[in-house]
Structure 1
Amino acid sequence: MKQFLTELEEAADRVTVALDALLPRADGPEARLASAMRYAALGPGKRVRPFLALQAGRLIGAEERALLRISCAIECIHSYSLIHDDLPCMDDDDLRRGRPTVHIAYDEATAVLAGDALQAVAFEILAEPDTHPNGYVRSLLVGELARAAGARGMVGGQALDMYLTEEGSADIGLITRTQRMKTGALIAFSVSAPVILTEAGKEARTALEGFAHDLGLIYQIVDDILDAEGSTEELGKTAGKDERQGKATFVSILGIEGARDRARRLAAQAKEHLAMFGREAHMLETAVDYVLQRRA
């Protein structure tokens, strides 16, 4: 785990430096917008999704420069989603990663615009020739990210998540579908994008996508457990919101121990997907343990 944590930190640093160069600077009449974008995207964060992209890409021989740019695009989409999730009209949160959320640090309108602009930057990064010399490959990346982030992926999952909050009850199937879309889709893109770069075979893509879908569910189940058991100080965001809102979650349906058992079974399954890669997949396997054991 020590090596994993070192590599995770190094990957986060590399992505932060690359993002710093790609995002607009905070000057001129648009300074407030640019500042809010940079506040969200360059602030503290584990950068787990970019790490997965870098590791999956190395596993199948993708070019490092392209992987880093894809990682930056992923982080822009993730940052935009967090900005919008925290808005008063969504989860109405004042705290994210131990700091005031963007609409608190700036204002609500600036937060909306910063999220919109970060989403646009993500596609701009993928569309540029520096990401890949082949325009067809770049178009595939743009299309895949659009699906992962849109109505059939992350945004659709957020809509279902709001439905779960409003209804207060749901079966495990709907909760699983919601989280596969809301959390799992962007994680799946993180490991499938390198396959597009390398034109790796169907077997490799199926294995990596299966791994990513299971990892995305583990991530959300652990989130639900932490929301129920953790503190605001530990999490860096408001704890206990799911129960106060009467929201249907893995914990509300399965209970704490049932949710933990589901996460452990998914962890074993996620690792099985990586068997074809042998020891070369050690970092991705360790990522499963990291997500399963995380406390924030």
Structure 2
Amino acid sequence: MPRPSRRALLAFAASAASLAHRAVAQAAPLRLVVGFPAGTTPDTLARLYAAAIAGPLNQAVVVDNRVGAGGLLAAEQVARSTADGNTLFVGGNGPISINRHLTDRLPFDPDRDFRPVAFLGLTQQVLVVRPGLPTDLQALIAYARANEINYGSVGAGSGGHLFMAGVVQQTGMKGQHVPYRGAPQALVEIAAGRLDAMAAATGSALPLIREGKVLPVAVSGPEPLLPEVKTFEQSGVPGFNLQLWNGIFAPRATPDAVVDRLGNAFTAAAADETVRRGVAAAGFAVQPLDPAAMTRFIAAESTRWGEIARATGVRLAD
């Protein structure tokens, strides 16, 4: 059989390269599914990282906002999606650590149906109140023992809801929960004086705090992030060293090699100065954790949130 000519070999190589190029160009986009509206912190973080990882992955990356049920709709969609690494969940406290303690009918199992890929960042919660209410935590507690307050959150079963329910229960305050679709809506209501209080992600509340339209009382976390604002511990209310966080999760059956490739891209993005500045502007801090460390962190968080859920009796409607 005659050997192929050099010209034929070159033509074959060019054809193969062209096919490979078209295959890459036609690759399905990577979807980052967010359970909250555009402009919220999870959405902001997702868009920051999406812009940073698209080039290294050689793949289009889109943010898909699937709003509803405090992030549960988005989580369920990703849990049921094809485990090929093209659909990822931007998860946080509620769907991953908290909701498992609030209902027996969760449509997915956070441990069985997901595997951690990358940690995006974490922040403290800040308790803010409308102008006219006390900004000293002990004074606010005394006021709310005598006068029922209403407090907002980004949805039933969210970190902000359970956090405030825990504070109310532990301190003897009288409080009524009012859910909103997102933090911006609730914060506007506080600024307008129609809502009394909220535990919000620091970055979400910071613009209105700076304008004096909402007033900070105390922050969660081991160290105060806002000048002259004490932590709950420093204000005499221990047990609320709980932070808000977001991470990337893939369906459990996603192959190790795919998870490693995606995790490396997110880890590299976390070191990018543009990403770090954007994360900081959102009030979050970059804290890279590998999947094993994420698993341990989530387990510890889930244990503490479970204690608060049992103490408060907060449940999701079945």
Higher percent of residues as helix: 1
Please indicate, yes or no, whether the TM-score normalized by the shorter chain is above 0.5: no
- TM-score (normalizing by structure 2): 0.23
Higher percent of residues as strand: 2
